[in-house]
Amino acid sequence: MITAENLVKVYENNIKALDGVSFKIEQGEICGYIGANGAGKSTTIKILAGMMGITSGKAVINGYDVIEHPEKVKRFIGYVPESGDLFLSLTPLDFLEFVCKMYDIDKNTCNKRIHSFLEMFDLKNEINTPMFSFSKGMRQKVLIISSLIHNPDVIFWDEPLGGIDYSTTLQIRDLMKELASMGKTFFYSTHIIESIDKICSRVIMISSGNIVFENYVNREMHIEEIFKKFAQSGNPDKISSIYNQ
């Protein structure tokens, strides 16, 4: 479903964000993509979602080359960006109807899905409320709904749970598992390491633009220890010297 072959991304200031990233994600997998800030997680997802070009390499989603067929790829993917912007003057109904129109969803199906999703995420009473009054978590729920409403085959989520309360986080975990059992594929970037072993079937870790760890999740795997080994930055022992200056 998702294939990355030697992805290289060099920005104009000659900073190499990705340095030969390769992996393959099968249908129905929930892949956790983890790493420190600036490791290359968001860059990878933007490339796979057809939001950004690449310097070299190849990305294929569901049999389609992302660079050669970006419009086809975008028809069957869902995407929540790391810092998603909403039209805050719109209501959830307005915004989600707009998303449905982009995917040519008929009006009857659109209305049913909007009301069902808003009820699922406890937003049904806010359906006609302009989103400028929403909390960050409420806005994030609308973004998550917008990534799922067209029934995509592949879902890219980049830090989707920012501002989401714990109860809803648990609900989203169950939702991801249910969708994966239906054959949906998740590529899920997160800083919430403790959630990886609870929802992901696989984990890939990136550091400084390189894949440094990849494995299927099992009971013997200690994600936090792996993260500390490969991705932790800074010196935690330094704090005492800062206070004693």
Identify the band that residue 222 occupies on the pLDDT scale cut at 50, 70 and 90: confident
CATH code of 37's domain: 3.40.50.300
- Lowest average pLDDT, out of 96-110, 165-179, 216-230, goes to 216-230
Range of the domain at 180: 2-82+152-243
Q: Tell whether 108 is covered by a domain.
A: no
Q: Taking the model in full, what pTM does it have?
A: 0.90
- With 60 as the cut, is the pLDDT of residue 148 above it? yes
Q: Tell whether 97 is covered by a domain.
A: no
- Average pLDDT of 60-78? 93
Q: Tell whether 25 is covered by a domain.
A: yes
Give the residue from 75, 243, 42, 212 showing the smallest Cα distance to 154.
75
**pLDDT tens digit string along 166-203?**
999 999 999 999 999 999 999 999 877 777 878 899 99
DSSP 40: S
Give the residue from 138, 143, 175 showing the smallest Cα distance to 157.
143
**pLDDT tens digit string along 117-130?**
999 999 999 999 99
Give the residue from 89, 103, 7, 23 showing the smallest Cα distance to 55.
7
Of residues 84 and 44, more confidently modeled: 44
β-strands 185-189, 30-34: how paired? Answer: parallel
Terminal alpha carbon distance of the chain: 54
- Average pLDDT of 15-24? 95
- Three-state DSSP string of 66-90: CCCCHHHHHHCEEEECCCCCCCCCC
Count of structural domains within the chain: 1
Residues paired with 77 in a beta bridge: 154
Query: What are the structure tokens assigned to 236, written together?
Result: 């935690």
Alpha-carbon span 45 to 55, nearest angstrom: 15
Q: Tell whether 131 is covered by a domain.
A: no
